[in-house]
Every structure is written in C-alpha cells, then in structure tokens.
C-alpha cells in the first residue's frame, strides 16, 4: 500500500487540547525532545513520536503530521521491537528500504572480552547507560531501571531479548573500548565510555 492509496480522514486536532498547547508539546526543547514527545525527521519527513517498554508491554506511536499519518504499535511482549515495526511500516508506506526481521543467533564470547565492556557510557547528556557482568553474562541498565540481558551476536555486537536494542562496542587501535553505538526504535546514538 502506498501513501496515495490511504483514505484521507479529516479529524479535528484541537478537540481535546488547544492548538497553543499542542504547539508547545511538539516544539523540541532539549535534544529534539518536546513535552513527552521525540521530534525529528524520518524519511525526510517531520515525525513526532514516543515509544517505551515496561512489565510485559512494548509500544510505539509515530506521527507524520504533514502527511496526516500515524502509526501505533502495541505489543504484550516487552522485548518486541515496537519501534522498529513502526519504522518499517512507515518505510513501506513511503516506499523506503526496510528489512524483514530474522531470528538472531547468540554466540559464546570469552569472559576476558566481556570484562572489557563493563563500565559507564554517556548515552544522552543526562543519561548514563551501565554495562554489568554477572555470572558470565552482560547486562545493560539505565539508572535504577530494570537490567536487560545482552546476548552476543558477534564479539562486539550485542542484542537483547528483553527489549528491542542493539549495542555495538567500539575500540581504538590498541583494543581499548572507547564507547558503544546504541540502536533502539530507529534511533542510533553514539555513547562514549566515561568510566
């Protein structure tokens, strides 16, 4: 299905919330974040989106206001990739590239390599992502949120079955870990190692 084939639905946008309040909500203040919404661009189009996962649920809502188009993905599986599914649905409608999900295979990585990844990474200006090693297994954690287990796809690339996230660890020429690349919900964030 293409965008031109979708039915046009004209709904009043200011029935519950005033235009002034909507404009304030959808104005990026810090790091492309409005009042509870991520404001950015995807496929060369403005997006207003928010996603999350907690206690057995995963969600994503992505609005493309200029196109009068919204994608909502709801799952009762916390580890489901709701953000990626929403992004892929938008890619299909806009005629962009997308990947069909494939089962990810976990490999064993030596404890010596895993130990190099342990530390703190600056994900956003006020968000530190910690990598922990417990009983030979890597975990990721933001502040006091629930830890998520990380599975190795390669010696440097990890994914989680708990939440839809991929982490690739980056090293310098001497093999010292300098940071990671954090991918979730269509967003790619470089995160330098700070400790």
User: Tell me: the pLDDT tens digits for 33-64?
Assistant: 778 888 888 899 989 898 887 777 889 999 99
Query: What letter would DSSP give residue 147?
Result: P
- Residue 141 domain flag: yes
- Residue 102 domain flag: no
At 24 the three-state DSSP class reads helix
Helix, strand, coil fractions of the chain, as percent rounded to 5: 15, 40, 40
* Six token digits for residue 78: 């916390």
- Residue 83 domain flag: yes
Residue 10 predicted with pLDDT over 60: no
At 119 the three-state DSSP class reads strand
Residue 2 predicted with pLDDT over 70: no
Q: Are residues 28 and 82 in the same domain?
A: yes
Q: Are residues 87 and 29 in the same domain?
A: yes
Q: Are residues 125 and 187 in the same domain?
A: yes
Q: Are residues 88 and 13 in the same domain?
A: yes
Range of the domain at 89: 3-93
- Residue 87 domain flag: yes
Name which residue leads in pLDDT, 2 or 175. 175
* pTM score: 0.59
Q: Are residues 146 and 83 in the same domain?
A: no
Select from 36, 60, 93 the last residue of a domain: 93
Using alpha carbons only, give the angle 179, 46, 62 rounded to the nearest 5 degrees: 75
Q: Can you spell out the DSSP letters for 47-109? A: EEEEEEEETTEEEEEEEEGGGTEEEEEEES-TTS-HHHHHHHHHHHHTT-------PPPP---
Q: Are residues 87 and 27 in the same domain?
A: yes
- Residue 101 domain flag: no
Select from 93, 128, 160 the last residue of a domain: 93
Q: By percentage, how much of the chain surpasses pLDDT 70?
A: 91
């Amino acid at each position: 299905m293409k965008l031109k084939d979708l039915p046009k639905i004209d709904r009043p946008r200011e029935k519950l919330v005033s235009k002034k309040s909507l404009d304030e909500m959808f104005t990026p203040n810090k790091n492309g974040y409005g009042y509870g919404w991520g404001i950015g661009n995807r496929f060369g189009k403005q997006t207003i989106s928010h996603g999350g996962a907690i206690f057995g649920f995963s969600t994503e809502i992505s609005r493309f206001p200029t196109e009068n188009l919204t994608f909502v993905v709801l799952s009762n599986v916390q580890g489901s990739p709701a953000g990626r599914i929403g992004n892929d649905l938008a890619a299909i409608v806009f005629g962009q590239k997308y990947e069909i999900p494939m089962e990810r295979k976990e490999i064993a990585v030596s404890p010596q390599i895993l130990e190099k990844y342990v530390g703190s990474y600056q994900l956003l200006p006020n968000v530190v992502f910690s990598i922990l090693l417990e009983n030979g297994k890597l975990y990721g954690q933001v502040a006091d949120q629930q830890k998520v287990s990380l599975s190795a796809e390669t010696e440097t690339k990890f994914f989680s079955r708990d939440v839809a996230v991929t982490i690739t660890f980056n090293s310098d020429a001497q093999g010292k870990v300098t940071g990671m690349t954090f991918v979730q919900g269509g967003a790619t964030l470089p995160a330098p190692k700070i400790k």
